[in-house]
Chain A
Amino acid sequence: MKKIALIIKREYFIRVKKKSFLLTTIGVPLFIIGFYAIIIAISLDESGGSDKNKIAVIDEAQLFDGKIENTNPNIVFSIIKNETESNYLKKYQTAGFDAFLFIPNDSISKNKSIYNLHSITSMNLPLMSSIEETINEAIKRKTLIANGINPEAFKKMIHPVELENTVDTETGEKKSFAGVAYGVSFACGILIYMMMLIYGTQVMRGVSEEKTNRIAEVMVSSVKPFQMMMGKIIGIGAVGLTQFAVWICLMFIIQMAIPLVFPDLMHQVNNSTTSSSENMSMVSNVLQGLSSLHLGKILFSFLFYFLGGYLTYASIFAAIGSVVSEDQQEAQQLVFPVMMPIILGFVIMTKAVNEPNSSLAVFGSIFPLTSPIVMMGRIAYDIPNWQIAVSMLCLICSFLFFTWIAGKIYRTGILLYGKKPSWKEMIKWAVKKS
């Protein structure tokens, strides 16, 4: 045990002390968050950031009845009277307008659908669609009045509905937040998938490096090959857990720090939530949704499935690393069949987040080679506890089984140089009694 601890320590510290570990653990998330922060800051900064666009309108059709209902703060409409299109086309720039919209006389009667906006520079898309919206609203209003319907009454009639889902459980009914569950599931599934691949291949590379460096022979004269393998796997797994821990800490720190660094930002978010009911309902929905999830359960499952999946695959990757020599192509050939269930798991997971209770999703979340990824895709939804229990049990069994088999292949492979053994030979090693 003392020797395994020594090996774990070495494998752990040699990786954690590397500059690249610091870079990926702290740098990458900071970079991503910083990137999003800039995007959010820019997009929230609507009023101050961009200039107001002054638009001149010649309304021959009296579409707007002399008054334009404008919802976009970036646009200022001015209705120009007693001018013709061809005349004003030369003047609007000198009059200080950015663009000029002409609505011809016959636009309503002919159901005209294309209007022309003249501008000095090309107009951006959100601005265009905002103007389109304004015109559409005006046309709708005119048409309603023409058909004898009061536009105000009509507005009250068409009220958009929102669908909420209530799940009836034994403990009572509660709201389900499919969107939030979807997001959390997908994120967890992808994270597990990535971590398993990244750390699994790290184990493989570490083992094949030991073999080609010939340190393996020195090592096995003092420790058992199985201790060597487990030490490496646990050490690298600990690196992964450290990375998670750092990320979680970073998340908390950033949550605390954002209001301090960007007080305006939070202010604006608060403003927008109070001013627009739609925004508020979304934010509160997400918050409610998050609190409705069993975060503790998700975190626990995440750790469990990460460890279970990682340990299962890492031992297989270690066995592969032990049989290949320098030739990376050989490794690729052997890795391919191992990658297939991982990729399959990923594909099932993308389905499972949409249909968490389909039979494919249930199978995928119990079958141990795909369960770490697929189960994380389902865990945020309410799924029967027995499925989780069976899935975890299967994963533990498969971890023990694969570690046992891989240990046998590793023991023989690590000291064998020359040609790559065939699958048949490896199976022979695996079933051979020690």
Chain B
Amino acid sequence: MDFLALHHLKKYFADQKAVDDISFNISSGSIFGLLGPNGAGKTTLIRMITGIFFPDHGHIDFNGQRFNPMVDSAKIGYMPEERGLYKKMKIGEQALYLAQLKGMSKSDAMESVKKWFVKFEMESWWNKKVEDLSKGMSQKLQFVITVLHNPQLIILDEPFSGLDPVNANLIKEEIFALAKNGATIIFSTHRMEQVEEICDHIVLVNKGKKILDGTVHQVKQDFKENIYKLGANVIAEQLMTGLFEVVKYEPNQLLLKLPEYTTTNEVLNYFINHQVKINSFNEVLPSLNDIFIKIVEDTTATRKFESIH
């Protein structure tokens, strides 16, 4: 079931079409990757999903019903890319305050804050101020504040920036656990290896338009170029064939690009018939990083300011 459905969202600013007719669905309990180069319109899109902006056109369905920011904002946890906390406020009070603003009662908020502080070993921070924290610590705090009120939809914008591998792992595990418990997670980042690792489904936006939509697996299939890696000692004369094209040649490893009419079995047969000892043979799928760069480079990466009216 779709937890969130975006229908033809548009948001134009004075000199930019920030979001220009974007639609996609996010299924319940999934970890969804929202990708795009800088200035693609991701933040504007997220701000519409969190109810900070009203779309100029189109609408959002939230949990099967028309999105109502007044009610539904309490069910959303948003961690913006630019971290923001009151520097001079005590950490415990701050967490309580922000949880209460999300509609929790004081006692519920207290219970939840304590639970998360224990989980992340932050109990000793209670009376400290945010300005006393290191960057990684305040990052952890920001994550805790985002999920304090048990949101059904969690939006994380670059949640791992500034975190060491141990803490990044801690938060990654937490993200998986939250999704397992039914929360839907939107994950926005430029770090493609994290997307591959974490996300089920991705959407790529650029210049305000959606240019890619699918599961990580599907996208990779769509962008594969029939390249195979052969682990074997092959001498150059054996490669004189029209069956495939050699992309890369190394003493004991080859990258082969197969034309559409060639099957893998034909290639293997060819090498077996040439008495080549094969150690390994497997398909090479493009990384999301490659796909990202390929797509974004096709369109001009930097947006130009344009006149709308």
Which residues of the other chain, A, contact B86 by a CB distance below 8 angstroms? Answer: 210, 213, 215
B100:A14 contact, CB within 8 angstroms: no
Which residues of the other chain, B, contact A264 by a CB distance below 8 angstroms? Answer: none
User: Looking across the interface, which residue of chain A has its beta carbon closest to that of B80?
Assistant: A217
Main secondary structure, interface of A, reads helix
B101:A214 contact, CB within 8 angstroms: no
A103 at the interface (CB under 8 A from B): no
Which residue in A214, A222, A415, A434 is a CB contact (below 8 Å) of B54?
A: A434
A258 at the interface (CB under 8 A from B): no
- Rounded to whole Å, the gap between the CB of B228 and the closest CB of chain A is 47
In the bound complex, what is the Cα–Cα distance between A425 and B80 (angstroms)? 26
Which residue in B14, B54, B76, B83 is a CB contact (below 8 Å) of A221?
A: B76
B74 at the interface (CB under 8 A from A): yes
Which residues of the other chain, B, contact A219 by a CB distance below 8 angstroms? Answer: 84, 101
Which residues of the other chain, B, contact A415 by a CB distance below 8 angstroms? Answer: 47, 52
In the bound complex, what is the Cα–Cα distance between A10 and B90 (angstroms)? 12
Which residues of the other chain, A, contact B102 by a CB distance below 8 angstroms? Answer: 222
B101:A3 contact, CB within 8 angstroms: yes
User: Looking across the interface, which residue of chain A has its beta carbon closest to that of B74?
Assistant: A222
A16 at the interface (CB under 8 A from B): no
B231 at the interface (CB under 8 A from A): no
A194 at the interface (CB under 8 A from B): no
Which residue in B14, B47, B73 is a CB contact (below 8 Å) of A222?
A: B73
Which residues of the other chain, B, contact A425 by a CB distance below 8 angstroms? Answer: 14
Evaluate whether A6 and B100 lie within 8 angstroms (CB atoms) in the complex, with A218-B80, A220-B52 already known: yes
Which residues of the other chain, A, contact B50 by a CB distance below 8 angstroms? Answer: 221
A131 at the interface (CB under 8 A from B): no
B84:A214 contact, CB within 8 angstroms: yes
Which residues of the other chain, A, contact B82 by a CB distance below 8 angstroms? Answer: 214, 217
Evaluate whether A213 and B84 lie within 8 angstroms (CB atoms) in the complex, with A14-B89, A221-B73, A222-B102 already known: yes
A216 at the interface (CB under 8 A from B): yes
Which residues of the other chain, B, contact A14 by a CB distance below 8 angstroms? Answer: 88-89
Evaluate whether A218 and B98 lie within 8 angstroms (CB atoms) in the complex, with A14-B89, A213-B84 already known: yes
- Rounded to whole Å, the gap between the CB of A140 and the closest CB of chain B is 71
In the bound complex, what is the Cα–Cα distance between A214 and B43 (angstroms)? 14
- Rounded to whole Å, the gap between the CB of A13 and the closest CB of chain B is 9
User: Looking across the interface, which residue of chain B has its beta carbon closest to that of A3?
Assistant: B101
User: Looking across the interface, which residue of chain A has its beta carbon closest to that of B87?
Assistant: A213
A221:B85 contact, CB within 8 angstroms: no
Q: Mark B189-215, 1 if CB is under 8 A from A, else 0.
A: 000000000000000000000000000
B292 at the interface (CB under 8 A from A): no
Q: Count how many chain A residues have C-beta atoms less than 8 Å from C-beta atoms of the other chain.
A: 22
In the bound complex, what is the Cα–Cα distance between A6 and B98 (angstroms)? 10
User: Looking across the interface, which residue of chain B has its beta carbon closest to that of A212?
Assistant: B84
Q: Count how many chain B residues have C-beta atoms less than 8 Å from C-beta atoms of the other chain.
A: 26
Which residues of the other chain, B, contact A434 by a CB distance below 8 angstroms? Answer: 54
- Rounded to whole Å, the gap between the CB of B279 and the closest CB of chain A is 53
A223 at the interface (CB under 8 A from B): yes
In the bound complex, what is the Cα–Cα distance between A3 and B78 (angstroms)? 18
In the bound complex, what is the Cα–Cα distance between A223 and B52 (angstroms)? 9
Which residues of the other chain, B, contact A222 by a CB distance below 8 angstroms? Answer: 73-74, 98, 101-103
In the bound complex, what is the Cα–Cα distance between A215 and B145 (angstroms)? 12
Q: Mark A176-219, 1 if CB is under 8 A from B, else 0.
A: 00000000000000000000000000000000001001111111
In the bound complex, what is the Cα–Cα distance between A2 and B103 (angstroms)? 9
Which residues of the other chain, A, contact B103 by a CB distance below 8 angstroms? Answer: 2-3, 222
B51 at the interface (CB under 8 A from A): yes
User: Looking across the interface, which residue of chain A has its beta carbon closest to that of B79?
Assistant: A218
- Rounded to whole Å, the gap between the CB of A129 and the closest CB of chain B is 57
In the bound complex, what is the Cα–Cα distance between A7 and B100 (angstroms)? 10
User: Looking across the interface, which residue of chain A has its beta carbon closest to that of B52?
Assistant: A220
Which residue in A2, A7, A213, A223 is a CB contact (below 8 Å) of B85?
A: A213
Evaluate whether A6 and B101 lie within 8 angstroms (CB atoms) in the complex, with A218-B145, A222-B73, A222-B74 already known: yes
Which residues of the other chain, B, contact A216 by a CB distance below 8 angstroms? Answer: 84
B270 at the interface (CB under 8 A from A): no
A221:B51 contact, CB within 8 angstroms: yes
Evaluate whether A214 and B100 lie within 8 angstroms (CB atoms) in the complex, with A221-B50, A221-B76, A221-B78 already known: no
In the bound complex, what is the Cα–Cα distance between A415 and B52 (angstroms)? 9
User: Looking across the interface, which residue of chain A has its beta carbon closest to that of B86?
Assistant: A215
B271 at the interface (CB under 8 A from A): no
- Rounded to whole Å, the gap between the CB of A119 and the closest CB of chain B is 62
B97 at the interface (CB under 8 A from A): yes
In the bound complex, what is the Cα–Cα distance between A14 and B90 (angstroms)? 10
Q: Which 7 A-B pairs have the closest CB atoms?
A: A214-B84, A215-B84, A221-B78, A214-B82, A217-B80, A222-B101, A221-B50
Q: List 14 A-B contacts (CB under 8 A).
A: A3-B103, A6-B97, A6-B100, A14-B89, A213-B86, A213-B87, A216-B84, A218-B80, A218-B145, A219-B101, A220-B52, A221-B50, A221-B52, A222-B98
New A-B pairs, 7, CB < 8 Å, besides A215-B85, A223-B101: A2-B103, A14-B88, A213-B87, A214-B80, A217-B80, A222-B101, A425-B14
